[in-house]
Structure 1
Amino acid sequence: MSLVGHQAPPIFRRGPSPLVRLILFVSICLAMLVADIKYRYLDVLRQAISVVTYPLQRAAAAPADVVRNASRYFATLVEVQKENAALRRELLDAAQSLLRFEHLQRENEALRGLLEMSRRLPLTSVSAEILYDAPDPFARKVILDRGAQHGVKAGFPVVDAHGVIGQVTRVYPAQAEVTLLTDKNQAIAVEVVRNGLRGVLFGTGQGQLEMRYVLAGADVLPGDVLVTSGLDGVFPAGLPVATVLHVERDGSGQGFFSIACEPAAGVERSIQVLVVGRAEAPPPRPSEQDAVDPPGGR
């Protein structure tokens, strides 16, 4: 058999050597690189590939983003909690400072008022502070931080910067008990500043005062100012006591007015007070025998 014109099968054909292929492909790549640098013809292809692969990139980066965002969130949360705690502490400190400042301001104003009151009174006075309310729930009484060793005596009036608040009813060596005007068993002789009408003011036991036994038709009007008359021999004359709130006819049918009054002083609110004493004792009250047979009489 003749072998002229016979060709070997494709499987047995041998192409270029690997070195030649490498050089060829490197040359093609360099040419494409140079052409892309010069003419930028692969930009559209790059953009298309980036658009197609962007969801895959986001999906691949999602776990890392979740971990990173979670760590940032918890770190920020811890910082915010610490900052909130610090701000709360600063707010509490500022509130406490403000409360102390307001308390000192009120106390300063009260002391100034007491100083002015003591200058107006031609009497001896002892400054005192109310420590606490008396333990009796049925009485309106307070305890002062001044007593017998400070010159306080039973019966002395007690005032604040605005007027009378009560009377000393019991004295201890370093403390004293004061019965407030609003106590239901306390009474004080007063007069109306506008016309000099005299009367007696009683406590109601509920923070208010009542002027009793005033005949119907008496000239008393809402807004009238009541001051001590001095006729009881205990309270000096002219101390502010109360203001008339309203005037009504007594329901007892005896022809009297029922006159409700509001204390002029902070009877159940004051802390800084003055205990007012007399420079000299008042003259003694006349006895019944003196009233029947006055001195110098027959």
Structure 2
Amino acid sequence: MKRKKNSPKLWIAVCFIGLILFLLSSGSGKITPWGPIARSVIDITAPFQNLTAKICSAVEGFWLTYFHLIKVREENAQLKASVDALKLENSRYREMLSDYRRFEELLQFKESSDRPSLAARVIGLDPTGWFKSVIIDKGEKQGVKLDMSVVNADGIIGRVVSVSQNYSKVLLIIDQNSAVDCLVQRSRERGIAVGLSTNICKLNYVQESGDVVVGDIIVSSGLAGVFPKGLPVGEVLDIKDVPGELFKDINIKPAVDFSRLEAVLLIAKEHVPSLDQTKTE
């Protein structure tokens, strides 16, 4: 087999590079001006060196910018996490302040009542769904008894109808099975407030000739000893005189916003002497 002959171009390139290296190194140790060949070589190679330097600089700048952006993004993520944590903490503080204000209002109401009372918190709705009622976080162990009235700073909420060791159920006055003996605060007309819907109660048994007008405040009468006397029940919304009926058709708006029940106050039922006890005395 014949061996391949080396290409003349390869030898020319090797000789040219060797010549360049010889010319550049021949002046080592001396400071001499470039000769014609050296200048030609520099003129040829310098643009490539300049281009290479620019490319390296661009690549270096890209990588530095890239890593800087990564660092900035990490710092932004850390700052966002810190801001979110501060927002959450701020929200907790606002909620604590709101709870404090609600319990402060209940405490002021408690101080104005001469009956034993107990603060509680609403933790849920009646799971059966048959009644408009709520569950509170106090029960027999904490001293809760049946028929204790449940109120807040706005007015009457309802009464305790079921009690377990640590929880109780409160029937709200907006339930149709609830009944509160009431007075028209201005005229002292009597009636019974019964539940109708979430936002409306009926004031029954007010005589046709009774003195009631829209805007009158309805308060508890204190009879039967369940609810203390004078607690707000609601405000008269509208009145209808039904021909042939003995009583007015009156709707009242409850004083309490039942969509925002949280902190409540339980008040012990007042002991009402029976007729036999009264005769004995």
* Structure 2: runs of 5+ lacking an equivalent: 1-30, 35-46
- 8 Å contact kept, 1:181–1:187: yes
Looking at structure 2, the residues matched to 71 and 27 of structure 1 have their Cα atoms a distance apart, in angstroms, of: 40
The alpha-carbon distance between structure 1 residues 197 and 62, as it changes in their structure 2 partners (threshold 3 A), is farther
Q: 1:137 to 1:28 in 2, by over 3 A?
A: closer
Mapped to 2, the partners of 1:28 and 1:153 lie a distance apart of 112
Q: Secondary structure at the match of 2:169?
A: strand
1:277 alignment partner AA: A
**TM-score, normalised via structure 1 length:** 0.68
Change (3 A) 1:60 1:252: farther
Displacement, 1:27? Answer: 11
Query: What corresponds to 1:88 in structure 2?
Result: 80
Q: In the alignment, does 2:203 pair up with 1:222? A: no
Identity within the alignment, %: 30
Q: Displacement of 1:121 after TM fit?
A: 0.9
Q: Is the 8 A contact 2:156 2:255 kept in 1?
A: yes
- RMSD, aligned CA: 3.2
Amino acid across the alignment from 2:255 = A
Does the C-alpha gap of structure 1 residues 68 and 113 become closer, same or farther in structure 2, counting only changes over 3 Å? same
AA partner of residue 276 (structure 1): I
Counting matched residue pairs gives 236
**2:10 corresponding residue in structure 1:** none
Partner of 1:162: 154
Deviation at 1:108, TM superposition (A): 0.8
Q: Any idea what the Cα deviations from partners look like across 1:109-151, whole Å, max 9, x if unmatched? A: 1111111111111111122222322202232212222222333
Cα contact 1:249–1:255 (8 A) shared by 2: no
Mapped pair 1:139 → 2:127: no
Contact 1:142 1:180 in 2 (8 A): yes
Q: Take 1:133 and 1:171, find their aligned partners in 2: how far apart are those partners?
A: 15
Over 3 Å counting, the alpha-carbon distance change for 1:215 and 1:60 in structure 2 is farther
- Counterparts in 2 of 1:177-256, with a 5 A limit? 177-215=169-207, 218-244=210-236, 246-249=237-240, 254=245
2:250 is aligned, of 246, 259, 262, to 259
Query: What is the alpha-carbon distance in structure 2 between the residues aligned to residue 261 and residue 76 of structure 1?
Result: 67
TM-score using structure 2 length: 0.72
Equivalent-residue separation in structure 1 for 2:58 and 2:213 (angstroms): 81
| Paired residue secondary structure (2:64) | helix
Distance 1:194 1:115 in 2: 27
**3-state DSSP of counterpart to 1:108:** helix
Cα separation, partners in 2 of 1:115 and 1:28, compared to 1, 3 Å: closer
Q: What SS does structure 2 have at the residue aligned with 1:199? A: strand
1:167–1:180 CA contact under 8 A, matched in 2: yes
Query: Are the counterparts in 1 of residues 238 and 252 from structure 2 also a CA contact under 8 Å?
Result: no
Give the conservation status (yes or no) of the 8 Å contact 1:156–1:275.
yes
1:195 counterpart letter in structure 2:
S
Query: Hey, what does 1:281 align to over in structure 2?
Result: 271
Asked if structure 2 preserves the Cα contact closer than 8 Å seen for 1:147 and 1:171, the reply is yes
In 1, are the aligned partners of 2:193 and 2:201 still within 8 Å (CA)? Answer: yes
**What does the per-residue CA deviation read over 1:172-208, in whole Å, with 9 as the maximum and x for residues that have no partner?**
2322211111222212111121221221112224243
Q: Hey, what's the Cα distance between the residues in 2 that align with 1:133 and 1:273? A: 14
**AA in 2 matched with 1:155:** D
SS of the equivalent of 1:72 reads helix
Distance across 1 between alignment mates of 2:85 and 2:121? 27
Structure 1 residue ranges without an equivalent (≥5): 1-25, 30-54, 287-294
Partner of 2:260: 269
Tell me whether 1:171 sits opposite 2:160 in the alignment: no
Q: Look up the equivalent residue of 1:109 and give its one-letter code.
A: R
- Aligned partner of 1:262: which letter? K
For the residues of structure 1 that align with 2:99 and 2:90, how far apart are their CA atoms? 14
Distance (Å, rounded) in 2 between the aligned partners of 1:256 and 1:76: 81
Q: Which has the larger radius of gyration?
A: 1
2:134 maps to amino acid: V
